[in-house]
Amino acid sequence: MEEGVILKGPAIIGPGVFIGAHAYIRGGNWIHERCSIGHGCELKSSFVFAESRLAHFNFVGDSIIGRDVNLEAGSIICNHRNERVHKTIYVRADGIRLNTGIEKFGTLIGDHSRLGANSVIAPGTLIQPSTVIERGALRDDDATEI
């Protein structure tokens, strides 16, 4: 761990994990082995599986990040629908829109996926394994107002 890291438990941090300077690890995280959390990242209530890498200045909230996933610098995983009157998060699975019943949920990112720098993933988005999201992209599987 580098200088200035803030850890707020509970947190489980596996062997060989690197956490860069001034990262903020807060409230209910599980980080598996050989992961890298870059400087200035914020990680909230998330699971990060082995060998995944969050470059500098990422936010990941209330999410599940698969094995060997790479988030380039500035990627944002949103976990709240502030722009809506009704805040409940919906997900789409096999073309069906499902109500999660909760107001805080980010994403589930499948193994071996890649998110380009400054990409934004909206709440409730499910990303299949080995998906590549281009730099600066917005991915929102539920852009419809409820």
> pLDDT tens for residues 26-82?
989 999 999 999 999 999 999 999 999 999 999 999 999 999 999 999 999 999 999
Whether the model clears a pTM of 0.85, i.e. scores above it, the answer is yes
Asked whether residue 19 is assigned to any structural domain, the reply reads yes
Angstrom distance (rounded) from CA 68 to CA 46: 15
CATH of residue 53: 2.160.10.10
Percent of the chain with pLDDT over 90: 89
Residue 56 designated active-site: yes
Active-site residue, from 22, 32, 39, 56: 56
Asked whether residue 70 is assigned to any structural domain, the reply reads yes
Structure tokens at 95: 């073309």
Asked whether residue 1 is assigned to any structural domain, the reply reads no
Asked whether residue 144 is assigned to any structural domain, the reply reads no
pLDDT at 143 over 80: no
Q: Work out how many domains the chain is built from and give that number.
A: 1
Mean pLDDT, the chain, integer: 95
Asked whether residue 146 is assigned to any structural domain, the reply reads no
Residues spanned by the domain of 120: 6-139
